[in-house]
């Protein structure tokens, strides 16, 4: 193995590991908000969790085993989560005039208790997490093809 091949392999592993760290922190955060703080997630948050929770496990195992072929089954989950998070963010910001169900009943993404770092809302954080994971996986996919 030449030095260039080793460097490229290390770069791929870092892309995978960073994607896993983002998914893992997102999963722990969602669990903390739901289980410790007792905040019931809205319907769109549930759908995003359905995509994020498996990513934390799949990317963690792939990172540990240096399995870069994980992109084939992690990228679809990430893209679906990204689409849901984008829709959720557009609904949250008011660009799509539709209430987030069941927001406004028992739980609400618009409440001040659903923001961190001085007002960054959870829908935007989820969008950022899915975007970064998708970007990293697409970058990894491009490296596999070259």
Give per-residue pLDDT as tens, 73-85: 999 999 999 999 9
Q: Which domains does the chain have, with CATH numbers?
A: 10-145 (1.20.1550)
pLDDT at res. 135? 97
Phi, psi of 66 (to 5 degrees): 55, 45
Distance of alpha carbon 107 from alpha carbon 134, whole angstroms: 28
* pTM given for the model: 0.86
> Which has more confidence, 101 or 52?
52
Q: How many helices and strands, by DSSP H and E, does the chain display?
A: 4, 2
Both tokens assigned to 75? 């990228």
Lowest mean pLDDT segment, chosen from 59-63, 103-107, 115-119, 124-128: 103-107
Among 102, 114, 130, residue whose Cα is nearest residue 46: 102
Q: For residue 3, what pLDDT band results from cuts at 50, 70 and 90?
A: very low
pLDDT at 111 over 80: no
pLDDT at res. 21? 97
Average pLDDT, the chain: 83
Please identify which residue in the block is written with the tokens 């399995």.
67
> Which has more confidence, 16 or 112?
16
Q: For residue 71, what pLDDT band results from cuts at 50, 70 and 90?
A: very high
Give per-residue pLDDT as tens, 24-64: 999 998 898 888 877 778 888 899 999 999 999 999 999 99
């Amino acid at each position: 193995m030449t030095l260039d091949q080793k460097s490229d392999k290390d770069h791929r592993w870092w892309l995978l590991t960073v994607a896993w760290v983002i998914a893992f922190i997102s999963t722990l955060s969602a669990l903390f908000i739901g289980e410790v703080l007792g905040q019931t997630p809205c319907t769109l948050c549930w759908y995003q969790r359905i995509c994020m929770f498996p990513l934390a496990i799949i990317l963690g195992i792939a990172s540990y085993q240096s399995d870069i072929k994980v992109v084939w089954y992690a990228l679809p989950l990430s893209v679906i989560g990204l689409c849901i998070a984008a829709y959720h963010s557009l609904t949250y910001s008011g660009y799509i005039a539709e209430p987030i169900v069941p927001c406004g009943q028992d739980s609400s993404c618009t409440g001040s208790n659903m923001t961190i770092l001085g007002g960054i809302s959870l829908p935007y954080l989820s969008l950022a997490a899915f975007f970064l994971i998708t970007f990293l996986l697409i970058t990894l996919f491009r490296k596999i093809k070259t």
